[in-house]
Amino acid sequence: MNSRLGAAIAAVIGILGLICAFDGSTLWSLSPPAALADSCPYGKSKGAEGGLYGSNRFHKPFGDDYFGEAGEELIQEMKALNIENYLRYLTSQGHMAGTKQDLEQAEYLQKLWLEQGLDQVKLQPYEVQLSHPNLEKPNKVYLIDEEGEVKFTSTIIEEPIDEVEYDDSIPPAFLAFSPAGTIITDELVYVNYGRYEDFQQVESMGIKIKDRVVIAKFGKIFRGDKVQNAQRFNASGVILYTDPQDYHPESDTGGAAYPNSFWLPGSGIQRGSIIWHDGDPTTPYYPSVDGAYRVPEEETDTPRIPAHTLSYNDARKLLVNMGGSEAPESWRGRLNITYRMGPKLARTGWKLKLEVNNIKRVVPTYNVIGMIRGSEEPDRYVMLGNHRDSWTFGSCDPSSATAVQIELVRSFGQLLEKGWRPRRSLVFASWGAGEYGFFGPWEWVEEYLKVFEMRTVAYLNVDLAIVYTYNLQISATPLLHKIIREATKKTPAPDKSLGYNTLWDHWTDRFRASSPALMDYNMASTSEHSPFYQRIGVPASYMVWEINFDELDWSDYPLYHTTFEDFNAMKNILDPEFRYHLSLGQLWGLMAIGLADAEILPMDLEDEITMLRRMLEGLQEEYGQALKERGLSLTHVERTIDGFADVARDFSSRIRKICDLPSLLARQLNDQIIALEKCYIDAEGSTYRPHMKNKMFGTDNFNQYSSWLAPAVRDALWQATHCQGPCHFQWQMVEKEIAALQYIINSALLTIKDIQNL
Ligand SMILES: *[C@@H]1O[C@H](CO)[C@@H](O)[C@H](O)[C@H]1NC(C)=O
Ligand SMILES: *[C@@H]1O[C@H](CO)[C@@H](O)[C@H](O)[C@H]1NC(C)=O
51-89: per-residue pLDDT in tens?
Answer: 334 435 576 666 678 999 999 999 999 999 999 999 999
Name the 3-class secondary structure at 192. coil
Task: Out of 72-81, 248-257, 590-599, 610-619, pick the least confident.
Answer: 248-257
Burial level of 10, CB count in 10 A (0-12/13-18/19+)? exposed
Asked if the model's pLDDT at residue 627 lies above 80, the reply is yes
- Cα 521 to averaged position of ligand 2 atoms, centre (Å): 45
- Cα 234 to averaged position of ligand 1 atoms, centre (Å): 6
Q: What is the pLDDT of residue 16?
A: 39
Which CATH superfamily, name and number, covers 69-128+379-597? Zn peptidases (3.40.630.10)
Q: Please state, in angstroms and rounded to a whole number, the distance separating the CA atoms of residues 417 and 57.
A: 12
Q: What is the pLDDT of residue 62?
A: 66
Q: What is the pLDDT of residue 61?
A: 66
Q: What is the pLDDT of residue 514?
A: 56
Protein residue whose Cα sits closest to atom 4 of ligand 1: 234
Nearest atom (ligand 2) to Cα of 253: 13
Q: Which of 399, 398, 390, 709 is nearest to 524 (CA)?
A: 709
The domains of the chain are located at 69-128+379-597, 134-357, 605-751
Asked if the model's pLDDT at residue 573 lies above 60, the reply is yes
Largest CA distance in the chain: 99
Nearest atom (ligand 1) to Cα of 234: 1
pLDDT tens readout for residues 231-248? 999 999 999 999 999 999
- Cα 316 to averaged position of ligand 2 atoms, centre (Å): 14
pLDDT tens readout for residues 125-175? 999 999 999 999 999 999 999 999 999 999 999 999 877 889 999 999 999
- Cα 210 to averaged position of ligand 1 atoms, centre (Å): 8
**Looking at this protein, which amino acid is placed at residue 637?**
V
For residues 203 and 228, the answer to whether their CB atoms sit within 8 Å is no
Mean per-residue pLDDT for 305-320?
98
Q: What is the pLDDT of residue 515?
A: 60
Class of domain 605-751 as given by CATH = mainly alpha
Protein residue whose Cα sits closest to atom 12 of ligand 1: 233
Ligand nearest to the CA of 337: 2
User: With the CA atoms of 292, 293, 298 and 300 taken in that order, what torsion angle do they form, in degrees rounded to the nearest 10?
Assistant: -60
Nearest atom (ligand 1) to Cα of 210: 14
Q: What is the pLDDT of residue 549?
A: 82
Q: Per CATH, is 134-357 categorized as 3.10.20.30?
A: no
User: With a 6 A CB cut-off, is 199 part of the ligand 1 pocket?
Assistant: no
Q: What is the pLDDT of residue 600?
A: 93
Residue 217: what are its φ and ψ, rounded to 5°?
A: -80, 145
CB neighbours of residue 66 within 10 Å: 22
Asked if the model's pLDDT at residue 44 lies above 80, the reply is no
Q: What is the sign of the dihedral through the CA atoms of 564, 577, 593 and 516?
A: negative
Ligand nearest to the CA of 196: 1
User: With a 6 A CB cut-off, is 233 part of the ligand 1 pocket?
Assistant: yes
Ligand nearest to the CA of 252: 2
622-648 b/e (C-beta count within 10 Å ≥ 16 → b)? ebeeebeeeebebeebbebbeebbebb
- Cα 320 to averaged position of ligand 2 atoms, centre (Å): 13
- Cα 208 to averaged position of ligand 1 atoms, centre (Å): 11
Ligand nearest to the CA of 336: 2
Name the 3-class secondary structure at 230. helix
Ligand nearest to the CA of 211: 1
Asked if the model's pLDDT at residue 27 lies above 50, the reply is no
Asked if the model's pLDDT at residue 49 lies above 80, the reply is no
Q: What is the pLDDT of residue 23?
A: 35
- Cα 101 to averaged position of ligand 2 atoms, centre (Å): 44
When the pLDDT of each residue in the chain is averaged and rounded to a whole number, the result is: 91
Q: Please state, in angstroms and rounded to a whole number, the distance separating the CA atoms of residues 617 and 116.
A: 48
- Cα 233 to averaged position of ligand 1 atoms, centre (Å): 6
User: With a 6 A CB cut-off, is 379 part of the ligand 2 pocket?
Assistant: no
- Cα 232 to averaged position of ligand 1 atoms, centre (Å): 7
Q: Please state, in angstroms and rounded to a whole number, the distance separating the CA atoms of residues 420 and 167.
A: 44
Protein residue whose Cα sits closest to atom 2 of ligand 2: 336
Ligand nearest to the CA of 320: 2
Q: Please state, in angstroms and rounded to a whole number, the distance separating the CA atoms of residues 583 and 91.
A: 21
- Cα 392 to averaged position of ligand 1 atoms, centre (Å): 37
Q: What is the pLDDT of residue 56?
A: 53
Q: What is the pLDDT of residue 553?
A: 76
The number of helix segments (H) and strand segments (E) in the chain equals 22, 19
User: With a 6 A CB cut-off, is 336 part of the ligand 2 pocket?
Assistant: yes
pLDDT tens readout for residues 650-691? 999 999 888 888 889 999 999 999 999 999 999 999 999 999
Q: Give strand ranges (E) for 507-622.
A: 540-546
User: With a 6 A CB cut-off, is 200 part of the ligand 1 pocket?
Assistant: no
User: Residue 551: pLDDT band by 50, 70, 90 thresholds?
Assistant: confident
Protein residue whose Cα sits closest to atom 11 of ligand 2: 336
Ligand 2 pocket mutation, candidates 245, 253, 319, 336, criterion most atoms within 8 A of CB:
336
Q: Please state, in angstroms and rounded to a whole number, the distance separating the CA atoms of residues 730 and 329.
A: 37
Nearest atom (ligand 1) to Cα of 233: 13
Protein residue whose Cα sits closest to atom 13 of ligand 2: 252
Ligand 1 pocket mutation, candidates 234, 722, 723, criterion most atoms within 8 A of CB:
234
Q: Please state, in angstroms and rounded to a whole number, the distance separating the CA atoms of residues 241 and 216.
A: 7
- Cα 488 to averaged position of ligand 1 atoms, centre (Å): 50
Protein residue whose Cα sits closest to atom 9 of ligand 1: 233
- Cα 239 to averaged position of ligand 1 atoms, centre (Å): 21
Nearest atom (ligand 2) to Cα of 336: 1
Query: What region, left, alpha or beta, does residue 725 occupy, with left being phi > 0 and alpha being psi -120 to 50 degrees?
Result: left
User: With the CA atoms of 671, 677, 679 and 683 taken in that order, what torsion angle do they form, in degrees rounded to the nearest 10?
Assistant: -120
For residues 170 and 266, the answer to whether their CB atoms sit within 8 Å is no
Protein residue whose Cα sits closest to atom 3 of ligand 1: 234
**Looking at this protein, which amino acid is placed at residue 388?**
R
pLDDT tens readout for residues 101-118? 999 999 999 999 999 999
Q: Please state, in angstroms and rounded to a whole number, the distance separating the CA atoms of residues 355 and 170.
A: 20
Q: What is the sign of the dihedral through the CA atoms of 619, 622, 625 and 629?
A: negative
- Cα 338 to averaged position of ligand 2 atoms, centre (Å): 11
How many Å separate Cα 541 from the centre of its chain? 8
User: With a 6 A CB cut-off, is 234 part of the ligand 1 pocket?
Assistant: yes
Q: Give strand ranges (E) for 300-445.
A: 307-310, 351-356, 359-372, 377-387, 424-431
Nearest atom (ligand 2) to Cα of 254: 13
- Find the DSSP H helices in 342-389: none
- Cα 179 to averaged position of ligand 1 atoms, centre (Å): 20
Q: Which of 183, 235, 210 is nearest to 353 (CA)?
A: 183
- DSSP 8-state symbol, 330: G
User: Residue 526: pLDDT band by 50, 70, 90 thresholds?
Assistant: confident
Q: What is the pLDDT of residue 65?
A: 84
Protein residue whose Cα sits closest to atom 11 of ligand 1: 233
Nearest atom (ligand 1) to Cα of 208: 14
Ligand nearest to the CA of 254: 2
Nearest atom (ligand 1) to Cα of 203: 13
- Please give the radius of gyration of the chain, using alpha carbons only, rounded to the nearest integer: 27
Q: Please state, in angstroms and rounded to a whole number, the distance separating the CA atoms of residues 254 and 262.
A: 14
Q: What is the sign of the dihedral through the CA atoms of 570, 575, 578 and 584?
A: negative
- Cα 205 to averaged position of ligand 1 atoms, centre (Å): 18
Q: Please state, in angstroms and rounded to a whole number, the distance separating the CA atoms of residues 451 and 428.
A: 16
Protein residue whose Cα sits closest to atom 6 of ligand 2: 336
For residues 456 and 536, the answer to whether their CB atoms sit within 8 Å is yes
Protein residue whose Cα sits closest to atom 6 of ligand 1: 234
- Cα 336 to averaged position of ligand 2 atoms, centre (Å): 6
Nearest atom (ligand 1) to Cα of 199: 13
User: With a 6 A CB cut-off, is 120 part of the ligand 2 pocket?
Assistant: no
Mean per-residue pLDDT for 97-103?
95
- Model-level pTM greater than 0.85? yes
Ligand nearest to the CA of 212: 1
Protein residue whose Cα sits closest to atom 10 of ligand 2: 336
User: With the CA atoms of 684, 685, 689 and 690 taken in that order, what torsion angle do they form, in degrees rounded to the nearest 10?
Assistant: -50
Asked if the model's pLDDT at residue 13 lies above 90, the reply is no
Protein residue whose Cα sits closest to atom 3 of ligand 2: 336
